[in-house]
Amino acid sequence: MTGKKVNVHQVTRVEGHGNIILNAQNGNIKELRWEVTESPRLFEAMLRGRSYQDAAFIASRICGICSIAHTTASIQATEAAFGIQPSEQTLLLRKLLYNAEMLESHVLHVLFLAAPDFLEVDSVFPLVETHRDVVLMALRLKKLAYNLAELLAGRKTHPISCIVGGFAKLPDLGELKAIRNRIEGALADFEAIVGLAKTFNIPDFARETEYICLKHPEEYAFILGDICSSDAGITPVSEYLSVTNEFCVPHSTAKYTKNKRDSYMVGALARFNNNYEQLLPRAKQTAEELGLKAPCHNPFMITVAQLVECFHVAEHSLSLIAQIVARGLEEEDNPVKVRAGRGVGAVEAPRGVLFHDYTYDKRGILTEANCIIPTNQNHNNIQKDFEALVPQILDKPQDEIRHTLEMVVRAYDPCISCSAHSLKVNFK
Amino acid sequence: MKPKVAFFDFTSCEGCQLDVLNVEAELLDLLAAVDIVNFREVKTEREENYDIAFIEGSISRESEIPRLQKIRNQAKVVVALGACACIGGVNCLKNSLLMAEALRIVYQDDARYYDTMPARPIDAVVPVDYYVRGCPISTEEFLKVTKSLLLGKKPEIPNYPVCVECKMAGNVCVFERGMFCLGPVIRAGCNAICITSGRYCWGCRGLVDDPNVDSEKDILKKYGLTVDQVTERFKIFNAYQEVAK
Amino acid sequence: MEQKSVLVVDDEPIVRESLQDWLEDAGYQVAVAESGEEALKIIEKQDFSVMVLDIRLPGKSGMTVLKEVKAQRPWLKSIIITAYPSAETTDEAKKLGAIDYLIKPVIPDDLERLIRETIESVGREPTVTAKVEIRPKPPVVEVVEVKKAFVITTESLKSLVESLAEEMEVVGVKSRHGKYVYDRIASFDELCLDYDVTLMPPTKYLLPAKETLLRFKVGDGSKVEPVIEQLPRAIIGIHPYDIKAIELLDEVFMTTNPDPNYIARRQNTIIIGVDCLNPSPKSFAPCMGTSLTETGFDLLLTDISAAYMVTVGSEKGASLLERYAEVREPTGDEIAKQKAARDEALTKYKLSLDVPKERLPKLLEESYDDPYWESRSETCLSCGSCVMVCPTCFCFDVKDEVSLNLKEGERYRQWDGCMLGDFAKVATGENFRHDKASRLRHRIYRKGKYILERYGKVGCVGCGRCAIACLADIASPLEAFNAIAESAKIKETARRIIREVRLETELYVPRLAELVNVEELTPREKVFEFKFKDREELGHKPGQFVEVSVMGIGEAPISISSSPTRDGTFQLAIRKVGNVTNALHSMEKGAIVGIRGPFGNGFPLSALEGKDVLLIAGGIGLFPLRSLVQYVVDRRSSFGRVILLFGARSPAERLFLGELAAWSQSPEIEFHETVDKGDENWKGNVGVITTLIPKVDFDPRKTMAVVVGPPIMYRFVIGELKKKGLPDEQIIMSLERRMKCGVGKCGHCQINSVYVCQEGPVFTLAQLRNLREAV
């Protein structure tokens, strides 16, 4: 066996900047690294000194794809710090808004970022010629998610109407009712994607790891719940630090995490593994159709788990809209009573559990902030997957090795630019 | 011959590039009108031969500068995409903290591993031909600029404040609802979307050419706000301008 | 030429005499001819606004007369009358430039209206007097007594509104966030008829923030079509001051250069007004005479507690009541209640105007240099709020937008305002109102003087919206008026209804013309020759301009560089400066552009004829002046001495080299040329153009000077001409401003009270002495 070298500078079809380095000689692996090179953006330092009115608006800018997740986590952290309990109406609207992002993010990943690998094309653009229907469908689904978010929050990327305590402007009930048809149409589109997914040649690889996500007694958790670990059970969200245990590595501007094992996974597959029972019927059906069973240890199946979640999200949204329409919408006067305090907000971003931890002074100004990003929590897992996988494929051609490693990274649907910062809080 | 178009990103959240994909149905028309030869987030192959470069993100590390210069040398037209590229954006908030202090807070003792410098818009490093402003960009404006480039026409971007569009949208002025707003000195082109959605203007599109910032500050004080409060909100997107003054 | 002059050509004496009588009664100056030959003789000596021509004449046929008249006076508009209309003759007549045709026996009313509309659509020459005459308004109004008042119960009003809602869109005043807005109402109960003031005025329904004017296709099968919305709509709750504002907009948009988009909306709108009984503290409507109105509405409601008094203001209103409501005659008590309610409302106003409002124009005229403008505007944010919320503001901008395939698109207009920084900026970057003080002054002058003088309607209705909206608290015209005045109060009354106006959809639609020749003059200047696709001639006067459209890019004003005496085509000499001119410069023969116009008043030919003319062109000032030079050359015998001075910056920047050579060699023209800086091959004069003037001897008593050039040149040239004793009335100039619509609507080309596209671009120095912004 000769030397195999892989040096991918800035992996494509992922959000953010990361490199893959492999240097093997005669079967010996000299170097194998997943390198995160994203410029540190120092958001925690930026949040310091900000008013609670602007905190979520800034935190949203951590990520362009999961801005709703950051906004929601940020607002929930502030609400926890001030002791504010959002109304039922607010929770319904928030969950619906959240679903819009989940949908958009998963569609983007499955069809735009991951599918090209399985269809052996360079990107979604050539698919315009060969699979025009698929592209139109993807655009249609993205548009649906976008319009739903617009309806609820004014805009999908960096939402506007979300405020501490609720929404600055309520959606039009008529338009909510009208969008139901399109969500039902989406379910039909997902079936078509399932058909396509069945043709995907998913690599067979398994490495068991710890799976961490939120868990809620009443439903498949996205914005509410406690931390659930496949190894260690339930931990309250306020004690998240005992689970995440961040540390720095020299070759990464993002921090890494670990809990009971060397690394752990968050994201769609973690949620699927831990909360399978709570998926709505069509989602479960799809999982079965695609051969996804809980627990699954193959990271390449994250994409499949996302597709399963798409069904869940669509069904769940229809139910939410029905509830909102039945209750009607009422202008709520939510004066915010500011006080000193600390609160943690946790949500399941499309890529995994996300924490925002805020400390306020009595004027409602942030004195400390800490954010732990899902992809941070996956970086270590990616590294460990590399270490387990490479020996298995070292005899393949160099190009194939490179491609497979890229696919591992892409499978996690990483959101690297979000992950390039985190803060170890120093309690004095 | 369709013009060759490339998308690049530096320090950013990548929301602006993704919003390009959000042009939805018009994406296919866009693909028919131009050749996208470089778009790291969406495709693997890349060509180094392109006419128009859309660049998102601000410059916040030394290592980003040569990459930016290479793009400027190659492209005939450089368009700054989004607030980070146009005016520096939220990335510049860290500039006001001492650099070392910021790193220390974030990375504690491991700070020695990371290099960073004050963030800046791309026109602080290379000349920029056109701007698509906002955080995120408005897909309508992105298409307008693209169509203008295809027509060989200078894009007609407003040079008047957000107030004009806010009134056109029939909004109740934010000041009359107990909040305050940067709209009177911020460039329009967003259809006053934040005010229409129930909030106020944070200034993500940057100042108009000739803003009466002193008057805005006076007005805000008249409504009971301190200079600090005002400056703090202004800095969220416009920290780079603030320092430059 | 007398503005309202008509030549009637008909071989039947009864037709000639009756038309002459009728038209002279209507105020026109009328000449008659009984044959084509006689007509041509008369035209040789005298110019007319309009010719009324019988197509069937003995001797020279009507068609021949039309052709020959076109050669003599290409801008003369003709109306054909005939007892035997046929498609071919009327087509041919139109191709020869006839405006329209009428079938005998001619209905005098129709003819008079046609003549009136034709005259209005043509630019005026400057009379060589000291003041610019804003065109006098023809009467649109007829005084009619239609009003009658009834009592209507709330239930009956409710059922009226609901019946209307079944037929059309109904908008009304409702509350939002504690303020009031106009919006669609879902039910009668949403209406808040006791409101103080709305954020935005109801005029937004007649002139929306953004509206499409045209749709176009470019490339093969170029096409341009007007887009006119005719959605029927009822607006409920309009206060009297807003009704007065609508009356102003009617005057602006329905009389001169009738605007089809506005007219269609207006004719489809039902106005149900409401007396304002709870005025806003910032309102000063009574000061402006707008707190009450007797005209301008279809129905007007007054709240008399238990029910409403409803006043009928039009036939439309009367028929609404008939069809949908139960009303009864009011009792004496109820009439008294109405008066009492109105009287009480008047006491609630807190603000007052310190001069009679009739004195405002004179007062403002005298306050041009008052330091108030500077100090007041210091805190202005140029945010545009005041103009956006104002019911009497109507300036707009026009832009093109295309689809991604670049093959089709639309031209739309959107609100603009003179208080915005770039309002008076042109493509070269020059901004004719670049400081806030001049912008504020202009706005206040519009509200207190210019609008009243031009349209005969009050320019500010005292609604108080701008005072409410202005964050810097500087917008109220009342405060401005008072700041420069003393006190009194007066009310105004007027009754009017609007006459039915014909909907002509072509005002903004460009005619397609083909580029038949392009010649490069210098690296950034070219001369383009165009011909209309439908072969009609432009029919312009020297000194006029056209609006040139490159669909998808935009529209720009360009002076016409060729004389109308050179038939078939017209030439535009263009410098490459902005989007449209750049696009033109990249065009080749065969390309299609859009042309609107000709616009503007043109050079005063009748004032020049018979005199010595001194023509002075600086640089690209030759572009518009050339049309006059060619005309003078073609009609040489009509003029005395012809002296032509041309100055270019350098030999490389000389224009129209062939013609310069011809002129310099012609014995009929005294031609002198200079360049600011010579080069090694240049043998001629070197020095700025003013250096040529002392060398030329002319008699100031019978010389007319026409000067066109860059702004900086004017001051020095005029200095030299004054030194030679030339009176102000005999110095004529052409000015540049941002002409956007060309028809006196969008507001961008204003110099103080005049619209350059209407009363200009040609002015005498005497007129400019009174236009302070012209310097």
- CB-CB: which of A136, A158, A169 is closest to B135? A158
Q: List, for residues A371-405, the tens digit of each pLDDT value.
A: 888 888 888 888 889 888 888 888 888 888 888 88
Q: Confirm whether B196 is domain-assigned.
A: yes
Asked if residues B25 and A139 have their Cβ atoms less than 8 Å apart, the reply is: yes
Strands (E), C40-193: 50-54, 77-82, 98-103, 141-142, 148-152, 169-176, 179-184
Contact C421/B33, CB-based, under 8 Å?
no
**In a shared domain, residues B116 and B171:** no
* pLDDT above 90 for A87: yes
> Which among B150, B178, B207 is the end of a domain?
B150
- Kindly state whether B154 is in contact with chain C, defined as any CB-CB distance less than 8 angstroms: yes
Looking at the structure, tell me whether residues B145 and B174 fall in a common domain: no
The per-residue pLDDT for B105 is 62
Q: How far apart are CA B66 and CA B80, in angstroms?
A: 17
Are chains C and A in contact at 3+ CB pairs closer than 8 Å?
Answer: no
Low-confidence residues in chain B, pLDDT < 50: 113, 244-245
Q: Write out pLDDT tens, residues A289-330.
A: 999 998 999 999 999 999 999 999 999 999 999 999 999 999
CB C79 within 8 A of CB C99: yes
pLDDT at A423 over 80: no
CATH number, domain containing residue B31? 3.40.50.700
- Any domain includes B80: yes
Give the nearest chain A residue to B179 (CA atoms).
Answer: A53
Look at residue A426 in the predicted model and tell me its pLDDT.
Answer: 27
> Does a structural domain hold residue B198?
yes
**CB-based contact, A123 to chain B, within 8 Å:** yes
Residue B242 tokens read as: 């603030």
Of A10, A54, A157, which is closest to B19 when you measure between CB atoms?
A: A157
Q: Does any CB of chain B come closer than 8 Å to the CB of residue A367? A: no
Residue B157 belongs to some domain of the structure: no
Q: Would you call B164 an interface residue with chain A, using a CB distance cutoff of 8 Å? A: no
Is B185 at the interface with chain C, CB within 8 A?
A: yes
pLDDT at C491: 22
Burial of residue C606, with CB atoms counted within 10 A of its CB: 0-12 exposed, 13-18 middle, 19 or more buried: middle
Within a 10 A sphere around the Cβ of C702, how many other Cβ atoms? 12
Q: Is B189 on the interface with A (CB under 8 A)?
A: no
Is the residue at B102 inside a domain? yes
Q: Which residues contact C773 (CB under 8 A, 6 or more apart)?
A: C432, C433, C438, C442, C751, C752
Distance CA C463, CA C289 (A): 11
| Residue B31 belongs to some domain of the structure | yes
Closest chain C CA to residue B158:
C422
Cα-flanking dihedrals φ and ψ of residue B41, to 5°? -70, -20
The pLDDT, as a whole number, for residue B25 is 66
Sign of CA dihedral A211, A216, A218, A220: negative
**CA A14/CA A302 separation, integer angstroms:** 14
Minimum distance, in Å, between the CA of residue B125 and any CA atom of chain A: 17
Query: Is B167 found in the same domain as B54?
Result: no
From the number of C-beta atoms within 10 Å of its C-beta (0-12, 13-18, 19+), residue C693 rates as: buried
Which residue in chain A has the smallest CA separation from B109?
Answer: A248
- DSSP conformation letters of C416-474: --TTSTTTTB-TTS-BTT-SHHHHHHHHHHIIIIIHHHHHSS-S-----HHHHH-TTS-
CB C416 within 8 A of CB C397: yes
Per-residue pLDDT of B14-55, as tens digits, reads 899 888 887 766 788 888 888 888 887 777 667 788 999 999
Are B59 and B124 within one domain? Answer: yes
Residues B72 and B40 in one domain: yes
Q: Tell me which residues of chain C have a pLDDT lower than 70.
A: 1-3, 120-147, 485-503, 775
- Among residues B117, B150, B183, the one where a domain terminates is B150
Residue A417 phi, psi dihedral angles, 5° rounding: -70, -25
Which one of C179, C384, C388 has the shortest CB-CB distance to B176? C179
- The two tokens of residue C349 are 């106003």
Sign of the CA dihedral with A52 first, then A58, A63, and A66 last: positive
CA angle C100, C101, C103 (to 5 degrees): 155
Co-location of B129 and B99 in the same domain: yes
Residue C399: what residue type? K
**B155 part of a folded domain:** no
Q: Are residues B180 and B96 in the same domain?
A: no
Residue of A48, A125, A167 with shortest CB distance to B31: A125
Closest Cα of chain C to B113: distance in Å? 47
Task: Report the alpha-carbon distance of residue C677 to residue C62 in Å, rounded.
Answer: 55
B141 and B74 part of one domain: yes
Report the 10 Å Cβ neighbour count for C219: 11
Structurally, how many domains does chain B consist of?
2
- Residue A416 pLDDT exceeds 80: no
Cβ atoms of residues B61 and B117 within 8 Å:
yes
CA dihedral (A71, A75, A80, A81) in degrees, to 10, reads: 110
Nearest to A45 among B18, B22, B94 (CB): B94
User: Cα(A273)–Cα(A229) distance, rounded to whole angstroms?
Assistant: 10
d(CA B133, CA C87): 57
The answer to whether the Cβ–Cβ distance between B42 and A54 falls below 8 Å is no
Kindly report the nearest CA distance between residue C739 and chain B, in angstroms: 17
Q: Phi and psi at residue C680, in whole multiples of 5°?
A: -65, -25
Residues of chain B in contact with residue C179, where contact means CB-CB under 8 angstroms, are 172, 176
Same-domain status, B107 and B170: no
Does residue B183 sit within a domain?
yes
Contact C405 B29 (CB under 8 A): yes
User: Two tokens at B237?
Assistant: 């997107």
Averaged pLDDT for residues A28-52: 80
Same domain, B8 and B125: yes
Q: Which domain range does residue B42 map to?
A: 4-150
C92-102 residues labelled b (16+ CB within 10 A) or e (exposed): ebeebbbbbbb
User: Which class for C411: exposed (0-12), middle (13-18), buried (19 or more C-beta within 10 A)?
Assistant: buried
Q: Do A156 and B22 touch (CB under 8 A)?
A: yes
Contacts (Cβ under 8 Å, ≥6 apart) of B112: none
C-alpha dihedral sign at B85, B87, B88, B89: negative
Q: What distance in Å separates the CA atoms of residue A159 and residue A161, rounded to the nearest whole number?
A: 6
Q: What are A4's strand-pairing partners? A: A24
Q: DSSP letter at C397?
A: E
Q: Do B182 and B83 lie in a common domain?
A: no
Residue that terminates a domain, selected from B150, B185, B219: B150
**Residues B187 and B122 reside in one and the same domain:** no
